[in-house]
Structure 1
Amino acid sequence: MDQHTCPPFFAQRMERLAVPATIAMAQRARAMRAQGEKVLSLALGEPDFATPPAVIEAAHRAALEGQTKYPPVDGTPALKAAIARKFARENALEYAPAEIMVSNGGKQVIFNAFMATVQPGDEVVIPRPYWVSYPLIVQLFGGTPVYADCHEADDFRLTAGALEAAITSRTKWLVLNFPNNPTGGTMGRTDLEAVAEVLRRHPHVHVLSDEIYEHLVYDGQHHVSLAAVAPDLRHRILTLNGVSKAYAMTGWRVGYVGGPEALIRAMTAIQGSATSGICSIAQAAAAAALDGPPDVIAHMCAVYARRREMMVSTLRAIPGVTCAMPHGAFYAYPGIAGCMGRVTEGGQTLKTDEDFAIALLNEQKVAVVHGSAFGQGPYLRLSYATSDDVLKEACARLARFVDGLR
C-alpha cells in the first residue's frame, strides 16, 4: 500500500504490508486461466499429491466421534503428544506439553513469536534469499530485517562469517529456514555447529528454526535440528514444523512448534486473542499423519528427487542459465544473469528478473516467481511440486522462451 491506497482510517502498519510475490504471481496465473489461457504454474510450493487416505479417515472418525467442540488454544492433548513423539523420534528433541503449541499453519507460529517479542528498533537476521513472509512479518511489528547473504557458489548455505557480520547489539532473532525456500539449500551438522559457535558469542540472539521441509532432502542427506546439534542453546531456539509439505496437507492448516515454556505461553496468549484453538478435525488428522507409517513421505520424496533431476538437467542445458543443485525442499533457483539486457520475441527488454517472469507468463504461459522477490536476483524460483507432464512442458516452454531472446 502507499499513501494513495491507505487512507487515514487505516493504521500506518498497513503501509508496510505488501502482497507476497508468490501469491501475486499465482493470482495472475489464475486470472489468465479464467480467461481461457492454458497457463502452467510453477509458482506455488504446494504438493500435487493427495492427503494420505488414513489421515482423511482419522479426520472422519474424529467428526463422527464428536470431536467438534472448541479445542484448547495451544492444541489438543492428543496432537501435542504426537508432536512430542515426533520430536523425540525424528529430531532427538524432548519437549514437555507446556513447551509445545499448535497454530494455523507455520506462518501463525512466526506471527505469534514475532508479535510477542519484536519491537521497533529490534533487528531480525534473515538469510537471503528468504521466504517472502519473514521480512513482511518482522516489518509489520516495527522490526528491521537484516540480511545475511547466501551464495550460489556455496549451494546457498548460511556461512558463519555471513551470520557474524549481520549480528549487532540490536539483533533479537535469527531466522533459519533449511531446507530452504526458495533455493532448496540445506545445512548439515558441520554447518549448524559453525552457526552455533557464532550464537554462543551473542547470547542475546534467539533462533526461529523453520524446519517445515525437513523430510524433503536428497542425495543421502539427513536433516538435523539446531536444537539437537547445540543443546546448550535449546532455551533460545524455537523449532517450527508442520504437516503441510511432508504430508500434502497444505489446506488443513496445522503448524506446530517446540520451544521455551515462557515464550510458548506468551505465543499461546496471543493466539487466544486472535484465532483461539485450531480446527479440532484438522488436529486429529495431523496426529494421524505424525504417527503414521513413514513410507508415505518416502514415496513423495522419491518422486520429488526424480523431478528435481529432470528440472535441473533441463535448466543447465539452457544457454545463459545456471542452476545450483537443490539438496532439499521442492524448488530450483536458477540464475538468469545471462539473459538480462536481451529482448524477447514479444519485444520486451529484460532489465530485471521480474521482467523475465512477467514476459515468460505473457508469451509462453508459464508462471514462475522472480528471485528478487526473495531478496536476490537475477534468479527465478521454480517449484517442482507438480505433475511430471506439467513440469516437462513448462521447462520446454522456458527453454523456447530463452532460445527466442535476441
Structure 2
Amino acid sequence: MSATLESIPPYVFYELDARRAAARAAGKSLIDVGIGSPDGPIPPVVVEAMQRAAADRQLSGYPHFQAHPAFQQAVAGYLGARFGVSVNPAKELLALAGSKEGIAELILSHTRAGDVVLIPEVYYPVYARATLLAGAEPVFVPFLSDGRLDLDAITPAQAARAKVMIVNYPGNPTTTSVSLDELARYVEFARVHDILLLSDLAYSELSFDGYQVPSVLQVPGAHDVAVETHTCSKSFNMAGVRIAFVAGQAAAIARADSYRSNIGYGVSTMAQLAGAAAFTHHVDIVPPIVAEYRARRDAIVSAFNAGGWPVSAPRSTMYLWLDVPAGFGDWEWVDALIAGPGVVVTPGLAFGEAGRGKFRVSLVQPSEKLVLAAGGIVATVPRH
C-alpha cells in the first residue's frame, strides 16, 4: 500500500457498516436511514433501454472514450430544456461512471503536491480524499450562517495555491440551497483567482415546494472557469447503474478525459444508454420520484415535530441534517440508536470535523418506516 493511501484516515462509512452488520448478526432488526442509497425502482423506460442494450452487438466492443453519441445528445437536450444551458457535446461534456469517481478524476487531473483544493467545511468525503491522494492540501472553507461559503476566510496565499474550488448546492449532508446570484459569486471568485470551479450538482431534481435548483452553468461566463457534475443516481433511482456526466470548461473536460484514458476505457455502453433514456425522459420520470420524497420528508418532519423535536422541512435533497442531543458524542449517539430503537443514522463527523455534533437521516425508507424511525430517535433522548 502506498504511503499516501496509508496516511488517509479510515473511511467512516466502513465503520458504520461494521456496526450495522454486527447488530444484524446479533439478531437486531434495523431501520437503516444511514447511507443515501435510493430504494425506489429504476424507471421502466430506463430498464427497457438497458434490456435493448444488452442484446445489442455493440456491447461486445469497448465503449466510446468520451461519451456515446446517444448519451451526448440526451445530456445536451436535458441541459438545454432544464437549465437553458447550451454545451458543445464534443468538447464540453464527458460521461462518468458515477459523479464520485468523476470528481476524483477532476481533482487528480488538476492538482499535484503543494497545490490547494478549496472544500466546504462540511463535505462529501471524496472531495478531501481525492485531494489527499493527489498529494495536494485540502483547505476547508467555513460556511456563513445562511450556508453560503465565507470566501473572505480564504487567505490570499491559499487562493494563490488553489487549483480547484468545490461547491455543492443543494448540499449533502447540509441540505442547503443557494440562488443563481450566489453561484455567480463563486464564478467570479474562480475567475479572479484562476481556479477551476467544480460544482457537484447531485441533487438537481430533488427539490420541493416550488423551488427549482439552478446550475452554475447558467451564470454568464461560467463555461470559462467552471465544470459541473450531474448524476442519475439520486434523481432517477439509478445509483447501481453508475452513470453521470461532467459538463463545462472545455480545457478541464479534455484534461479529465486525458487522465482517465490512461487508467480506464470510458464508461459502460449499457450504462450510457440507460442514462440517455433517463435524461431524454426526465420530464416524465422525475415528478413521481420527487413526489415520493416529498411525502417522505413531510411524514418524518411531522413525526419529529409531533414528538417535540422541532425540525424544519428542507426544500431540497433526500436528507435531514440534525443536531446530536446534548450528552452524546457522535458515535455514542449512533450506537444508542442502533442498540435501542434499531435506527441507523450517519454521524456528522463522516462529513468532516465541522460536521461533528450533527447526524444525517436519509429518506430511503417508506413513510411509515420513517415515522417509526423518528419516533425511535425522539424516544432515545433522555427526559429530564
Amino acid at match of 2:183: L
Per-residue CA deviations over 1:98-131 (Å, capped at 9, x if unaligned) read 2211121101111111111111221111122211
Aligned counterpart in structure 2 of residue 372 of structure 1, from 312, 329, 349: 349
**1:334 aligned residue:** 322
Matches within 5 A, 1:7-406: 10-68=1-59, 69-96=61-88, 97-150=90-143, 153-154=145-146, 156-159=147-150, 161=152, 168-200=159-191, 202-229=192-219, 231-316=220-305, 323-336=311-324, 339-341=325-327, 350=328, 352-375=329-352, 376-402=355-381, 404=382
Q: Deviations over 1:291-326 (max 9, x none)?
A: 01523211111121222122233334556x564542
- Counterpart-to-counterpart distance in 2, 1:113 and 1:15: 22
Residue identity in the other structure for 1:178 = Y
Distance in 2, Cα, partners of 1:80 & 1:23: 35
Contact preservation (8 Å) 1:127, 1:149: yes
Q: Distance in 2 between matches of 1:20 and 1:289?
A: 31
Distance in 2, matches of 1:19 and 1:301, equals 34
One-letter amino acid of the structure 2 residue matched with residue 335 of structure 1: D
| Whole-angstrom distance in 1 between the partners of 2:102 and 2:370 | 32
Query: Could you list the per-position Cα deviations for residues 172-221 of structure 1 after superposition, in whole angstroms to 9, with x for gaps in the alignment?
Result: 21111111110111111232233334334x33221110111010112211
- The 4+ residue runs of structure 1 with deviation greater than 6 A are 163-166
For residues 262 and 232 of structure 1, what CA distance do their matches in structure 2 show? 14
Please say if residues 323 and 357 of structure 2, whose CA atoms lie closer than 8 Å, have aligned partners that are also in contact. Answer: yes
Aligned to 1:6: none
* Matches of 1:64 and 1:216, distance apart in 2: 33
- 1:4 equivalent in structure 2: none
Contact kept? 1:67, 1:281, Cα under 8 Å: no
1:59-117 Cα distance to aligned partner (Å, 9 max, x none): 11112222312111222111112111112221222221222111211011111111111
SS in 2 for 1:196: helix
CA shift for structure 1 position 240: 0.6
Aligned mates of 2:347, 2:224 — CA distance in 1: 37
Q: Contact (CA 8 Å) 1:164, 1:198: kept in 2 or not? A: no
- Which consecutive unaligned segments of at least 5 residues does structure 2 have? none
Equivalent-residue separation in structure 2 for 1:77 and 1:285 (angstroms): 13
Q: Determine if contact 2:141/2:151 at 8 Å carries over to the other structure.
A: no
Q: What percentage of aligned pairs have identical amino acids? A: 28
CA distance in 2 between partners of 1:327 and 1:20 (Å): 29
1:239-281 Cα deviation digits (max 9, x unpaired):
1111111110000011111122232222112222223121111
| Secondary structure at 2:221 match in 1 | helix
Higher relative contact order (CA 8 A, sep 6+): 2
Q: Secondary structure at the match of 2:211?
A: coil
What amino acid maps onto 2:104 in structure 1? F
Aligned residues: CA RMSD: 2.2
The answer on whether the counterparts of 2:187 and 2:225 sit within 8 Å (CA) in structure 1 is no
TM-score of the aligned structures, taking structure 2 as reference length: 0.92
- Post-superposition Cα deviations, 1:6-34, rounded to whole Å, max 9, x if no partner, equal xxxx2111123344323432343244324
Determine the C-alpha separation between the residues in 2 that align with 1:232 and 1:322: 42
**CA shift in 2, pair 1:23/1:57, >3 Å:** farther
Query: Matches of 1:102 and 1:135 in 2, distance apart?
Result: 22
SS at match of 2:177: coil
State the 1:36 CA deviation.
2.5
Distance in 1 of aligned mates of 2:28 and 2:233: 29
Farther off after superposition, 383-392 or 189-198: 189-198
- Tell me the amino acid that sits aligned with residue 78 of structure 2: K
